[in-house]
Amino acid sequence: MSLTQRFARFTLRRLGWRCIDLPQRPERAVVIAYPHTSNWDFPIGLLAMSALGLNARWAGKDTLFRGPMGPVMRRLGGIAVNRRERTGFVSRLAAELRQGQPFMLVIAPEGTRSLTEGWKSGFYRIAHAADVPVVVAMVDYPRKEIGLLASIALSGDEAADMARIVACYQDRQGKRPELASPIRLI
């Protein structure tokens, strides 16, 4: 275990958080982080990724990468997403995941901290196109737990796959539960 990993675990424990990990993690996957209802999800999530030794990249809105914070966000593993126009993001990341190198991509499927009608489908399309599992990750504020709950191999049956994902998030709650979007693709 690296010094950074030990420091992250220590920090989370001091803050009262418990990390949850899978017994066996896939080397390549799309990790969905839900619920995303607070600005605090980001720093706690970064600490958890470090504590778990999850060498992952994460997708964030391109405005986070402007100005002096851009290099910092990229150094922290960020990949800018332009949500205003089609840029080939899904196909580009699916191709990168298919290359066979260890690669975990973390996405907040709600796409925002605000209440929406449901989830954006990019995570599903990337995982399906790359033929990698979806790893279900959560931040549960009432329990003060953060981590990975399940690894789900997609069947291609969107309704059945989403039902399995929904089941993983039963009784999990974000900092502001009223802002948690329903788990359904829009």
Given a contact cutoff of 8 angstroms between Cβ atoms, the answer to whether 107 and 31 are in contact is yes
Residue 159 CA: distances (Å) to CA of 19, 74, 165: 29, 34, 10
Q: Which amino acid is at 178?
A: E
Cα 151 to its chain centre, rounded Å, is 13
**How high is the pLDDT of residue 55?**
85
**How high is the pLDDT of residue 87?**
82
Given a contact cutoff of 8 angstroms between Cβ atoms, the answer to whether 52 and 148 are in contact is yes
Q: Which amino acid is at 172?
A: R
Q: Which residue has the higher pLDDT, 55 or 72?
A: 72
Q: pLDDT confidence of 150, banded at 50, 70, 90?
A: very high
What does the pLDDT average to over 64-84?
Answer: 91
Domain boundary assignment for the chain:
3-179
- Tens digit of each residue's pLDDT (9 = 90 or more) over 104-137: 999 999 988 899 999 999 999 999 999 999 999 9
- Tens digit of each residue's pLDDT (9 = 90 or more) over 15-69: 999 999 999 999 999 999 999 999 999 999 999 999 999 989 999 889 989 999 9
Given a contact cutoff of 8 angstroms between Cβ atoms, the answer to whether 119 and 33 are in contact is no
Give the list of residues 6+ apart from residue 185 with CB closer than 8 angstroms, or none. Answer: 118, 119, 120, 121, 124, 158, 162
Enumerate helices (H) and strands (E) in the chain, giving the number of each. 6, 7
C-beta atoms surrounding 130 within 10 Å: 23
R_g of the chain computed on alpha carbons: 16
Question: According to the 3-state scheme, what is the secondary structure of 109-169?
Answer: CCCCCCCCCCECCHHHHHHHHHCCCEEEEEEECCCCEEEEEEEECCCCCHHHHHHHHHHHC
